[in-house]
Structure 1
Amino acid sequence: MKTTRTNPEIEIIFEDNHLLVVNKPEGLLSQEDHTGDPDILTLCRKYIKKEYKKPGNVFLGLLHRLDRPVSGVMMLAKTSKAASRISEQIRRRTIKKKYLAVVTGNPPPNGYLTHYLLKDEKTNTVRVVEPNIKHAQDAKLMFQRVETVGDLHLLKVSLITGRPHQIRVQLSEEGYPILGDQKYGESNRSTPALHAFSLELEHPTLKKEIIFSAKPPQINPWSKFSIKTYS
């Protein structure tokens, strides 16, 4: 397994001249904020600078973010051409994102959820509102319940839109909050059991479909479930 050899180390899923795809550990920031804590973008820049002995500033484009508590696939652009072409795919919503979530409650075998969400920038929280509320954004996702162990359920979630805290808020609104998501109603774990499982997109230069995936960390509660469900 290749890593960035930084502190903390980050698993490298894929790398070529245009893309760097990593498996973000839970608890690590996507980019620098006021806390000064380690973040993916800064650490990966350090990796590229050292690995390829690059002088000066290293270009690395942040294409999307994961909430700090969320682990999983993160993709960064090593060239401006790749950044531009993938950003266009994001705008056109052609990139397919799938997540794994461990939830409580009683979710059905599968579902399609649509809500309108409003973010409060001061508290960094999101809530479900009526469609006519100013600045509300539509949020859509699909899910499949793939395994149940005791009172915990493993869901595979496919995003249709990409809104802040979308999966966490929508699942909580329906009565099956993510295990450990203290911000949205479930407190049996220190962090939400949510993992960015895969990204499917068109490679920016090869023009072919490519899928990047990462298994969740094999710790509780992920270790309760069959490894077959992660394939």
Structure 2
Amino acid sequence: MNTDTQNTKSQVKLFEVTDNHSDQRLDNFLITYLKGVPKSHIYRIVRKGEVRVNKGRVDVKYRLVIGDIVRIPPMRIAEANDVVFVKQSLRDALQQGILFEDDGFIVLNKPAGFAVHGGTGIDSGIIEGLRVIRPDAHFLELVHRLDRDTSGCLIIAKKRSALRKLHEFFRTDQVQKTYLALLAGQWARKKLVVTAPLLKNINKGGERMVVISQAGKEAETLFRRLRLFADATLVEASPKTGRTHQIRVHAASLGHPIVGDERYGLNDTNKHFKNKGYNRMFLHAETLKFEHPSTGELMTFSAPLPQQLQSLLQHEQQV
């Protein structure tokens, strides 16, 4: 039941969560519900406590539960014909990047350089772009996330039941994930499991950092060397857990950060590779393997390495 009054734009609205929005993140719900309201404003009113759930303050990552009462402060909601701006380059990439689709979910080859959703300073991301190019779709929600500069396999649910099942798979580590990463320097090992726990932290500049700390959450990544170059190492990274920036931080802990990683890498190293043509972080979500949420069939999805990265590797001197 929706208890808000659509015509009273100047009044507080109370929205009761039904099955249609259960398990949805608060920020994604608000972005969809408050069409035309800038993403930065939505994140601001949540941070300030103007949006409340069951009369209490919550984080934007809070997942809605059936029966929750969401308080939405007074604001002018844009008219229905307002359009979210989506770059043509993103539209084209989305149209060409579908790896698999059925009535339950989409597997997309996400292009690098685009956030998975809009937020502070970002008008639109992958999910907003999909909703624009598919205006008749009744339900499109992110199942998981990839960093802005990471390319590769990304799952979008097309119905609530698929979203719930796939969320459960990710929470219980039933999704096998394999990434390709180019590490700076020659990594001497052929194989290694890193189990350093990770803690989210905020540095002085307000930028979110993840650090290795015994106070953090358990994290496990298997690194396997694929090819050794004169000043870099191509590896396969298989994270058993799904912590924020997990592969990036674990790679840096080896003394071999990912090429192009502006947050956890080294400035001189990144500059060296940038001069060679590496203009993005070399991290690619190559494969996903999980059971189909409806049929139970084991499925494997693969996203080819972007041509730009393939070309750069061909010019590396192999050892």
Paired residue for 2:291? 202
Matched residues in 2 for 1:176 and 1:159: separation? 17
**Is residue 194–residue 250 contact of structure 2 (8 Å, CA) maintained in 1?**
yes
Match of 1:14 in 2: 100
TM-score, normalised by the number of residues in structure 1: 0.86
Equivalent residues of 1:149, 1:224 under 8 A apart: no
Alignment of 1:34-113 (within 5 A): 34-49=120-135, 54=136, 58-107=138-187, 108-113=189-194
* Aligned counterparts, 1:151-170, within 5 A: 151-170=231-250
- Per-residue deviation at 1:8? 4.5
Alpha carbons 2:182, 2:234 under 8 Å: kept: yes
Closer, same or farther in 2 for the Cα pair 1:176/1:40, shift >3 Å? same
Residue of structure 1 aligned with 2:207, choices 95, 100, 123: 123
Structure with the greater relative contact order (CA < 8 A, sep ≥ 6): 1 or 2? 1
Q: Aligned AA for 1:18?
A: G
Task: Give how far 1:6 is off.
Answer: 5.5
Letter of the structure 2 residue corresponding to residue 209 of structure 1: L
Aligned residue type for 1:124: R
What is the CA-CA distance between 1:72 and the residue it aligns to? 0.6
Query: d(CA) in 2 for partners of 1:119 and 1:174?
Result: 19
Residue number in structure 2 paired with 1:214: 303
- Count of equivalent residues: 212
Q: Which residue of 1 aligns with 2:224?
A: 144
- What's the C-alpha RMSD, in Å, of the aligned pairs? 1.9
- 1:229 corresponds in structure 2 to none
| Contact 2:248 2:264 (C-alpha < 8 Å) held by counterparts | yes
Deviates more, 1:117-126 or 1:201-210: 117-126
Moved over 4 A (4+): none
| Aligned residues of 1:27 and 1:70 also touching (Cα < 8 A) | yes
Partners of 1:35 and 1:213 in 2: CA distance: 31
Contact 1:143/1:157, CA 8 A, preserved across alignment: yes
Out of 231, 255, 260, which is 1:175 matched to? 255
Q: Is the 8 A contact 1:29 1:37 kept in 2?
A: no
Q: Which residue of 1 aligns with 2:109?
A: 23
The whole-number CA distance in structure 2 between the counterparts of 1:218 and 1:37 is 27
Write the deviation string for residues 190-225 of structure 1: whole angstroms up to 9, x where unpaired: 4310000111011111210101110111114x3244
Deviations 1:49-73 (A, max 9, x none): 2xxxx2xx73112110000011111
SS of the aligned residue for 1:98 comes to: strand
CA contact (8 A) 2:91 2:133 kept: no
Q: Is the 8 A contact 1:182 1:191 kept in 2?
A: no
What's 2:57 paired with?
none
Q: Please tell me whether Structure 1 or Structure 2 has the larger radius of gyration of its CA atoms.
A: 2
Cα gap change, 1:111 to 1:39, in 2 (>3 Å)? same
Question: Structure 1 residues 212 and 148 mapped into 2: Cα distance closer, same or farther (>3 Å)?
Answer: same
Identity score, percent:
33
Structure 1 CA distance for aligned equivalents of residues 250 and 165 of structure 2: 30
Whether contact under 8 Å (1:98, 1:198) holds in the other structure is yes
Q: 1:24, CA displacement in angstroms?
A: 0.7
Match of 2:30 in 1: none
C-alpha distance in structure 1 between counterparts of 2:147 and 2:294, whole Å = 28
In structure 2, how many angstroms separate the alpha carbons of the residues matched to 1:113 and 1:223?
Answer: 30
